[in-house]
Amino acid sequence: MHKQKSALLGRRGFLQGTAALGAILLGGPSVANARLAAAAAGIRAQDWHSLPRNDGSTVTAGPEYLGGDFQLARAADGSFEPGRTFISEVFQSTGWFNMVGMHWVADVPEGTTLELEVRGSLDGTVWGPWTPVGHVMEARGDEEVPRGLETFTDAVEFGRASAMQYRITLETTDTRLSPVVRRVTATQIDALDSPGLEDLDARGHAIPFRVGNGGAPTARLILRDGPNGWGPTNFAPDSPYYWEPYAGVYPTQFVTIHHTAWANNPENPVATVRAVWYYHAITLGWGDVGYHYLVDQYGNVYQGRGGGHATEAGHVSRYNHHNIGVCLLGQFEPGAPNVPPGGEPTAEALDSAMRMAALQSAYWGLNPLERAAYPKPDASCRPQLVNHRVCGHRDWGRGASCVRTACPGINVYKRLPAIREQAAALIPDIKDFHLMEILKRG
């Protein structure tokens, strides 16, 4: 995933590092089309804007207000106490939601930290555990907060909830300084009104994910659009695909493997894919999902980013040109902070990731076993790394690169050599590119 932080930085470092991200925000003119697409696809969200107050209260406000003033308490001599916790009111939705994305505006001086946790409840009475919000993301947001002021993190998956609550912990190592929290927003995403895999099959338009040999495919290729699509579908043909000024078509030279770092084995992976799309496209303000393809635990492959198969997407900050992103649903880095427990990828998911890598390699004439230099190096944050044609997100994080991530998790990463070998062995058997012809259209 687009992790801007990883175990490499340590949990304490990541929220301190957010100011640096502000200078390199991405985004485009509007997420209006994405909102239309979400509505048509039945994906809903509710934003709770709250202003944490120093007296312990929360004021619920509109998006234009930044009037929170929660900070560390002062001792008698005026210095700040070393730590303080704030627990919000309960945000009770009128419906269900399966995902919460937290974003906030706060001053966090060097030497101080802000940590945010959330918990969810099915009924507002029995609560799940406090869960730290995920890693800081590059985002522009979709509201009127000036760019760079607001900090976004990865979303937290609840499965199904109707209520949530957040907890802030402030700490300082310099008693002259305190963070100040101006506003906290909880975006509750409801992608539960989603077809299941059996519904897609029942529509009778399933496309077998058949690549090369290996017998009858058991996995599906699930497009965004059309009768077998996971939606959203109504991007107008003349609408801009956002992510300007970067959007463009760059013939594929690399296939990069990711994980979402969300829960493993989601009950309905279609709903998870829809929530990933919403969070990237609208909450983070990207206009579309960051990955070209997503792979569930059954090996089903979901078409991601619109615009055609070699359109630049947003999955490796600064290395998105000529680079296809294939993301496994799940968290595969045991012991990683701020995310669900790490697990093992299924054989089906690994097989489909391998077959997609083989298909891309065969189509574009790439040798998965070969290493190559990234073709568009620039300033210090994007040195000309030499990587395998089929590599992992973390491979783009070496040297002076700004990328810092454990993605796709060690339990996937350690299998990349085998995936490269299998893909290279499969390529001579790939004579049929009808799937690429389908995906070419986007």
Please say which residue, 46 or 297, places its beta carbon nearer to Zn ion: 297
For position 1 contacting Zn ion by CB under 5 A, the verdict is yes
Tell me the closest approach of the beta carbon of residue 369 to Zn ion, in angstroms. 22
Size of interface with Zn ion, in residues (CB under 5 A): 4
Please say which residue, 295 or 435, places its beta carbon nearer to Zn ion: 295
Pairing outcome for strands 293-295 and 207-208: unpaired
Please say which residue, 320 or 361, places its beta carbon nearer to Zn ion: 320
On the CB side of 152, CA atoms within 13 Å amount to 28
Please say which residue, 45 or 407, places its beta carbon nearer to Zn ion: 407
**Per-residue x/- track, 78-97, Zn ion (CB under 5 A):** --------------------
For position 135 contacting Zn ion by CB under 5 A, the verdict is no
Please say which residue, 258 or 382, places its beta carbon nearer to Zn ion: 258
Near Zn ion by CB under 5 A: residue from 140, 393, 404, 415: 393
Tell me the closest approach of the beta carbon of residue 395 to Zn ion, in angstroms. 10
Q: Contact region for Zn ion (CB under 5 A) — 1-9, 23-31, 212-220, 431-439?
A: 1-9
For position 407 contacting Zn ion by CB under 5 A, the verdict is yes
Alpha carbon distances (Å) from 327 to 19, 94, 115, 279, 437 = 27, 32, 27, 15, 21
For position 257 contacting Zn ion by CB under 5 A, the verdict is no
Please say which residue, 318 or 393, places its beta carbon nearer to Zn ion: 393
For position 353 contacting Zn ion by CB under 5 A, the verdict is no
Give the whole-angstrom CA distance, residue 246 versus residue 26. 9
For position 263 contacting Zn ion by CB under 5 A, the verdict is no
Tokens 């189509």 -> residue: 363
Tell me the closest approach of the beta carbon of residue 286 to Zn ion, in angstroms. 14
Tell me the closest approach of the beta carbon of residue 157 to Zn ion, in angstroms. 16
Tell me the closest approach of the beta carbon of residue 86 to Zn ion, in angstroms. 31
Q: Contact region for Zn ion (CB under 5 A) — 59-67, 184-192, 352-360, 390-398?
A: 390-398
Please say which residue, 117 or 395, places its beta carbon nearer to Zn ion: 395
Please say which residue, 118 or 407, places its beta carbon nearer to Zn ion: 407
Tell me the closest approach of the beta carbon of residue 135 to Zn ion, in angstroms. 10
For position 5 contacting Zn ion by CB under 5 A, the verdict is no
Please say which residue, 310 or 403, places its beta carbon nearer to Zn ion: 403
Q: Contact region for Zn ion (CB under 5 A) — 89-97, 204-212, 215-223, 402-410?
A: 402-410
Near Zn ion by CB under 5 A: residue from 140, 258, 382, 388: 258
For position 322 contacting Zn ion by CB under 5 A, the verdict is no
Q: Which residues bind Zn ion (CB under 5 A)?
A: 1, 258, 393, 407
